[in-house]
Structure 1
């Protein structure tokens, strides 16, 4: 009897314990969970350090916080007097507008240094007067994940004078991480002595530049630093440039440097953009600088240009608009009014051809499709285009109104038979000063091509009756085919890519619209794109 009572008591104890644990579990399950909310920290003064300063806000911020600025700081400059601002966490900094708030390095130090663990967004402010000596990134150095919105990066510098060191670059910004730049201006940055390039931006990582302007930047490449440049942008990583303008930048080359607007030795895509008024200048007698007024695409460069314009660029040496030693594809684009001065030609084996007002394809691979080369000038050879020991494929291209002071006003082809391969298909070359086409290499293939003065043994010769270069619809300017043009309906559908590989013209008009495809970049149609 006692044993039964004991068992009953034990069972009750177990039931009580179970119920107690169940209640505790329910209570814990229903208890509110404390979630740490991201904080907003307000900067209240322009001091370099201490309470209310930007530096203190960055130091105090937890990962995910946002830093803002009191409205009383509008029109003010925060001047750094100690060290750069280093960020190694997730952080957002929202300014008062690029014209209303400036963060200055006081011409003595870099402004922002974003470490590899940094995930940083900076908006609506100006980064100015940053400077480093013999280092990367005068204004900003990014090794993490960085987004720049509605900002201005201006008047930053790289100083020092260590020759032969390839790492220095990016007076405005140096990027080795992932960087997105939107609605921003990168301007008036320069190297004070010499650098590897990238007066505005030097990219060794991944760069996305959208709706932005890169202008008035300057870079010098000296002595053994050669093979670099890009006063606006220098790229050795992966870069995408969309709906942006690269203008009025200047590369001063003492070695193999160049690329007034852009230097590319990585992967780059340019679309719906303008590269205009840039300059590649060779300062020293006998120097190898001065290539690619607008763009220098170097040997490892893979560059694609779409729906874009290269205009009014100047090279002291070769490639007024563009110098190519790598792989280059140009589609639905216009190369116009560029100048190659052709100074100081280089002698010896494998020399680079001298000239190329629009494009100098020097040992590279160049594909041109649905594009226009117009109004370019060379003070030596190849007003529109030179192909020198490279591979050229031009299809549905219009080459018009180009000039050379010697020969090859339209196209100049030179080099050995085995090294220089040229194919011109469904293309127009006309209105040149200094002959439309000069071929000093026997390896050239022409199919369905009209050359006005009958040079290079074309399929068709005579006046193509082209209209002026102007906006005829689409993203870029073209030469319209006027009534009665010999170029109209020359290629049957299915032949030479007509209506198959190529279904639109440079403007986006359907090919063919009538009995066959028209030659050149323009397809006659009553419908505008």
Structure 2
């Protein structure tokens, strides 16, 4: 095994690199270090378990085994959420949707989910919050299945480890699979000699139409070096869809003569994963990887990485630690900052960019603002727009380099914020659609290809909105789902009744 040249204590590195990323990437998970720090005394029920082998993702039951209803907003006692979770069996659902209060404030500590799989369902993330009260985590799940949280806000969780102990998952910590659906997680904190996930720690994290924001992973110790991994999320497997990770920080307490290793202001994923139709923005690392740090292959599709900062290290937007690679498709990486590789830092051959913008990032005077590698590397792909970068990187022959004229990051429709293209942008009609995407980052119903060809980046200018009457007898939601399943050809068919004629359609300004 090749040594990993990092500046943090070996025990912290062993925990973070549980997937053994100092050797070549594998399809599965490697064994986690047997000496991984425990967050519980029972070796069979701990948040940092010793993974003997890759773990199969549990299927979601078509119906819960039983539904337990929460009838009041008390911290404990009959009818409370805590009592319902304690009474639950495997694969049950806890129903909070009938509550009329806006907040459940925990005063006696985190709620522990001891069954393997459980679902918590609220009325809406805008109407009900589970509040950790800055005293403890909100949820802890030291089990083997899947914890699912739907239509809730989880906030104000705190995990502060003392001495030579580590913290993780300031709001939710799970030894297994964590699914968040239409859920917000915010204002969480994890601090310790090593801190893993200011908001979320789990073996695998899946976010769908969810938001993780305003959370902090902080390395804190009076007399030792520290590490902070993932201001928002630390996980082994990552899967994000139509979600936002924004305004999180991986930082450390400054101590004279003590070192720190801070990485992944937004996300650290050890085995890599997938980010689709999502925005990673305004995250901050005092070390490397302002937005995302990955130690194995990552797919970035139809997504935006914007305004992230690696204050004292490489990779403002993306930090691709060897041997990881990135496959970026129809994505936009802009306004990020680092000491080197302001947009992205890569260390291994094999990365590819397709119809992707990497422009408008910044780096220190000795670094390259957009793309930079440790050595001479070849970036595969086509139809990209990439600003000035590392001359030792070989880019695709058809790469454009002019200013794409990006608008500010804001809501342009859809569940996540994007950078629109201004009229006259060289990215207009200059891209490709290598994966046959039906929609741009904003999702249904913004077509991925509009005009002579797709635009470069995550945003398609002038993308038409499909109307509910596109197919007689079908609802708009069903029409969108069919279009997504059928791809570009299906989208064109569903659109035939509503797309205006040339005479009716206003000109598309360039």
TM-score over 0.5 (shorter chain): yes
Residue in structure 2 matched with residue 450 of structure 1 by the alignment: 400
Unaligned runs of 5+ in 1: 1-88, 132-137, 159-169, 343-353, 431-435, 453-462, 492-496
Residue in structure 2 matched with residue 64 of structure 1 by the alignment: none
1:388 is displaced (CA, Å) by 2.7
Q: How does 1:182-261 map to 2 (within 5 A)?
A: 182-193=150-161, 194-222=165-193, 226=194, 229-236=196-203, 238-253=204-219, 255-261=226-232
CA distance in 1, matches of 2:422, 2:155: 42
TM-score computed with the length of structure 2 as normaliser = 0.64
Matched, 1:335 2:313: no
Residue in structure 2 matched with residue 19 of structure 1 by the alignment: none
Change (3 A) 1:383 1:156: same
Matched, 1:95 2:71: yes
TM-score computed with the length of structure 1 as normaliser = 0.62
Residue in structure 2 matched with residue 308 of structure 1 by the alignment: 278
Determine if contact 1:512/1:523 at 8 Å carries over to the other structure: yes
1:315 is displaced (CA, Å) by 0.5
1:499 is displaced (CA, Å) by 6.7
CA distance in 2, matches of 1:330, 1:220: 29
Residue in structure 2 matched with residue 403 of structure 1 by the alignment: 362
Residue in structure 1 matched with residue 317 of structure 2 by the alignment: 358
Determine if contact 2:209/2:415 at 8 Å carries over to the other structure: no
Cα deviation digits, residues 107-145 of structure 1 (max 9, x gap): xx99965787584625247261334xxxxxx33233333
Change (3 A) 1:206 1:408: same
Residue in structure 1 matched with residue 390 of structure 2 by the alignment: 438
Residue in structure 1 matched with residue 502 of structure 2 by the alignment: none
CA distance in 1, matches of 2:230, 2:308: 13
CA distance in 2, matches of 1:370, 1:201: 32
Residue in structure 2 matched with residue 373 of structure 1 by the alignment: 333
Determine if contact 1:120/1:145 at 8 Å carries over to the other structure: no
CA distance in 1, matches of 2:170, 2:156: 8
CA distance in 2, matches of 1:471, 1:112: 37
TM-align CA RMSD: 3.3
CA distance in 1, matches of 2:398, 2:437: 14
Larger Rg: 1
Cα deviation digits, residues 419-475 of structure 1 (max 9, x gap): x55235212134xxxxx21144x5x341421123xxxxxxxxxx4444444444444
CA distance in 1, matches of 2:147, 2:302: 28
Q: How does 1:10-409 map to 2 (within 5 A)?
A: 92-96=68-72, 98=73, 101-103=74-76, 113=86, 119=92, 121=94, 123=96, 124=99, 126=104, 128-131=106-109, 138-150=110-122, 152-155=130-133, 157=135, 172-176=139-143, 177-193=145-161, 194-222=165-193, 226=194, 229-236=196-203, 238-253=204-219, 255-265=226-236, 267-283=237-253, 284=255, 286-298=258-270, 301-342=271-312, 354-363=313-322, 364-378=324-338, 380-389=339-348, 391-408=350-367
Higher relative contact order (CA 8 A, sep 6+): 2
Determine if contact 1:449/1:519 at 8 Å carries over to the other structure: no
